[in-house]
């Protein structure tokens, strides 16, 4: 129990000295809100407070037409998703450490895994990951395990989401894995334990996937897989499930997904739910594989991931269930059609689209990105994400209307 003994005075003094403080009070004086008085108005009634908060909220300016993408998308979410997901049985339930008494949660995760496997063309999927960036980074670590340490270099496309790239750098630095970034895949990848590409890539381009002579990891946009071919030639497919009925929510919380070929399933991080029968012969669900330190010897664990985003995975499952296969595909077709309509309209005004093939995101070339976006914003339009001084990433979803497309074209 030694690790749980409180710090001694000598240990506290050593820590304080290392940050140039004499007392704990000196340490916390650097945080003004603790020691300074709050400047608060007179107390308000509940009704008065509601009115004040609503007045402040109106200053946020939420009535913009949004053409933002880049990994977080403004999607239609059926009302039933939040209504069901916010039931107390789901919202307040803890992680199913005792799976035999968590049958409802396990069944939802099982259905989620089945849907992810079908969407990606893979054999099996895990119970979810923390987000798209960590899912991609964990996929690289998984591929490294598959290679059994014989190789230590991984190829990652430069056109991967910039935020995912930063997460990958951190994970691989900590594991001593060397990352090489590429624009064009070399003819031979035999000196690398894996190749990671994004499909469609961060700039919206849909590139043809060819299987390299090593493990192939594909970071796929699940929404795009409603209309484009799934990356069935991949060994591992990972990414974010935010497009599946998860609100943008200022960037989170979202969740990641991971799927793979069956022969690699024991190298997957996290947990995996399976179906079986109980002692009475009735269908039951259980945590089939749990490759983490809490359940197996530390040296055999595949990851330090100790849980999964089951509530958000539930929301994705509800979203796909409520839309159905046809509704999911219809939403994808609407998004794509609106994007191509906007691209053609901008082209008529002399604004060039740099993509050859795209789903619902594309890059345009302007004279000045800042001026272009500022002009659109003055007309109530969030026109896209600035890539550089001339290029902007533009995105449409099924929530954009024909009127918004026309306003964008007129306003630029």
Residue 127 in tokens: 């119970």
Beta bridge partners of 65: 381
Q: Between these two residues, 71 and 302, which has the higher pLDDT value?
A: 71
Cis upstream peptide for 200 (omega within 30°): yes
Question: Mind listing the pLDDT tens digit for each residue in 173-220?
Answer: 999 999 999 999 999 999 999 999 999 999 999 998 989 999 999 999
Overall average pLDDT of the 36-64 stretch: 84
Question: Mind listing the pLDDT tens digit for each residue in 313-334?
Answer: 999 999 999 999 999 999 999 9
Kindly report the backbone phi and psi dihedral angles of residue 353, in degrees, each rounded to the nearest multiple of 5, phi listed first: -95, 130
Question: Mind listing the pLDDT tens digit for each residue in 360-385?
Answer: 999 999 999 999 999 999 999 999 99
63 pLDDT tier (thresholds 50, 70, 90): confident
Please provide the average confidence, as pLDDT, over all residues in the chain.
90
Q: What is the CATH number of the domain that holds 398?
A: 3.90.1150.10
Residues 10 and 121 in one domain: no
**Cα distance between residue 274 and residue 260, in whole Å:** 15
Quote the percentage of the chain above a pLDDT of 90: 73
Do the strands 385-386 and 391-395 form a parallel or antiparallel pair, or are they unpaired?
Answer: antiparallel
Do the strands 381-382 and 65-66 form a parallel or antiparallel pair, or are they unpaired?
Answer: parallel
Q: Does a structural domain hold residue 279?
A: yes
pLDDT for the residue 42: 86
Q: Does a structural domain hold residue 387?
A: yes
Residue keyed to tokens 């039931």: 87
Overall average pLDDT of the 100-119 stretch: 90
Residues 158 and 307 in one domain: yes
pLDDT for the residue 5: 64
Q: Does a structural domain hold residue 48?
A: no
pLDDT for the residue 259: 98
Which of 15-24, 216-225, 277-286 has maximum average pLDDT? 216-225
pLDDT for the residue 89: 79
Residues 275 and 309 in one domain: yes
Yes or no: say if 195 and 151 are a contact pair by the CB < 8 Å rule: no
Out of 284, 318, 352, a domain closes at: 318
Domain that holds residue 6: 2-35
Q: Does a structural domain hold residue 12?
A: yes
> Who contacts 374 (Cβ-Cβ below 8 Å, separation ≥6)?
none
Question: Mind listing the pLDDT tens digit for each residue in 220-269?
Answer: 999 999 999 999 999 999 999 999 999 998 888 899 999 999 999 989 98
Residue 236 in tokens: 């591992």
In the predicted structure, residue 303 carries a pLDDT above the cut 90: no
Beta bridge partners of 285: 275
Overall average pLDDT of the 2-28 stretch: 83
Residue 409 in tokens: 């074209």
pLDDT for the residue 30: 74
Return the DSSP state at 8: P
Residue keyed to tokens 């993408």: 69
Out of 277, 301, 318, a domain closes at: 318
Please state the domain count of the chain.
3
Total length of the chain: 412
pTM to 2 decimal places = 0.86
2 pLDDT tier (thresholds 50, 70, 90): very low
Neighbours of 286 (CB within 10 A): 16
Residues 180 and 91 in one domain: yes
pLDDT for the residue 1: 38
Beta bridge partners of 153: 178
Residues 136 and 14 in one domain: no
Q: Measured at the alpha carbon of residue 33, what is the angle toward residues 6 and 47, in degrees to the nearest 5?
A: 115
Residue 110 in tokens: 């099982």
- First-to-final CA distance of the chain: 66
Q: What is the CATH number of the domain that holds 179?
A: 3.40.640.10
Kindly report the backbone phi and psi dihedral angles of residue 384, in degrees, each rounded to the nearest multiple of 5, phi listed first: 145, -175
Out of 266, 297, 318, a domain closes at: 318
Residues 210 and 243 in one domain: yes
Residues 260 and 373 in one domain: no
pLDDT for the residue 34: 55
Q: Does a structural domain hold residue 106?
A: yes
Residues 256 and 144 in one domain: yes
Residue keyed to tokens 């809100």: 33
Q: Does a structural domain hold residue 51?
A: no
Rg of the chain on CA atoms, in Å: 24
Q: Between these two residues, 124 and 60, which has the higher pLDDT value?
A: 124
Residues 232 and 113 in one domain: yes
Distances (CA, A) of 385 to 202, 210, 407: 11, 29, 18
Nearest to 397, CA basis, from 346, 347, 315, 330: 330
H or E stretch at 17:
helix 9-18
Yes or no: say if 23 and 16 are a contact pair by the CB < 8 Å rule: yes
Residue 232 in tokens: 């069935």
Residues 364 and 407 in one domain: yes
Q: Does a structural domain hold residue 359?
A: yes
Residues 286 and 341 in one domain: no
List b or e across 134-166, with b for residues whose CB sees 16 or more CB atoms inside 10 angstroms: bbbbbbbbbbbbbbeeebeebbbbebbbebbbe
61 pLDDT tier (thresholds 50, 70, 90): confident
In the predicted structure, residue 118 carries a pLDDT above the cut 50: yes
**Cα distance between residue 1 and residue 344, in whole Å:** 68
Yes or no: say if 246 and 255 are a contact pair by the CB < 8 Å rule: yes
> Who contacts 25 (Cβ-Cβ below 8 Å, separation ≥6)?
none
Question: Mind listing the pLDDT tens digit for each residue in 128-153?
Answer: 999 999 999 999 999 999 999 789 99
Q: Does a structural domain hold residue 171?
A: yes
**Cα distance between residue 229 and residue 99, in whole Å:** 36
For helices 310-347 and 402-411, give the axis angle rounded to 10 degrees.
50
Residues 284 and 225 in one domain: yes
Q: Between these two residues, 292 and 6, which has the higher pLDDT value?
A: 6
Across 261-345, the runs of DSSP E, i.e. the strands, are 271-277, 283-290
């Amino acid at each position: 129990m030694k690790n749980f003994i409180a710090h001694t005075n000598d240990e506290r003094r050593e820590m304080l000295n290392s940050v140039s403080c004499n007392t704990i009070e000196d340490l916390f004086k650097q945080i003004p809100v603790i020691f300074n008085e709050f400047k608060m108005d007179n107390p308000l009634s509940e009704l008065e407070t509601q009115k004040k908060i609503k007045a402040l909220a109106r200053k946020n300016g939420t009535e913009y037409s949004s053409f933002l993408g880049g990994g977080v998308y403004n999607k239609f979410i059926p009302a039933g998703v939040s209504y069901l997901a916010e039931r107390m049985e789901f919202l307040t339930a803890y992680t199913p450490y005792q799976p035999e008494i968590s049958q409802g949660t396990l069944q939802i995760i099982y259905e989620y895994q089945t849907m992810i496997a079908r969407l990606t063309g893979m054999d099996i999927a895990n119970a979810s990951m923390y987000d798209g960036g960590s899912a991609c980074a964990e996929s690289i670590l998984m591929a490294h395990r598959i290679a059994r340490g014989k190789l230590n270099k991984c190829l990652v496309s430069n056109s991967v989401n910039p935020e995912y790239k930063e997460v990958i750098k951190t994970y691989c630095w900590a594991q001593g894995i060397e990352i090489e970034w590429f624009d064009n895949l070399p003819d031979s990848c035999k000196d690398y334990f894996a190749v990671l590409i994004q499909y469609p890539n961060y700039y919206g381009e849909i590139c043809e996937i060819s299987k390299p002579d090593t493990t192939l990891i594909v970071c796929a946009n699940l929404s795009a897989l409603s209309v484009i071919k799934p990356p069935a030639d991949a060994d591992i497919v990972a990414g974010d499930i935010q497009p599946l009925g998860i609100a943008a929510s200022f960037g989170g919380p979202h969740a990641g997904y991971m799927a793979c070929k069956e022969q690699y399933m024991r190298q997957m991080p996290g947990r995996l739910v399976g179906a079986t029968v109980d002692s009475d012969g009735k269908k039951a669900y259980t945590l089939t594989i749990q490759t983490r330190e809490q359940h197996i010897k530390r040296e055999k664990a595949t990851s330090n991931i100790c849980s999964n985003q089951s509530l958000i995975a539930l929301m994705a499952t509800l979203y796909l269930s409520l839309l159905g296969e046809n509704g999911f595909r219809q939403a994808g077709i609407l998004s794509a059609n609106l994007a191509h309509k906007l691209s053609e309209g901008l082209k008529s005004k002399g604004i060039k689209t740099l993509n050859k093939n795209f789903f619902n995101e594309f890059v345009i070339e302007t004279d000045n990105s800042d001026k272009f976006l500022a002009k659109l914003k003055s007309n109530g339009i969030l026109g896209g994400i600035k890539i550089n001084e001339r290029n902007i990433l533009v995105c449409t979803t099924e929530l954009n209307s024909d009127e918004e497309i026309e306003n964008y074209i007129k306003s630029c």
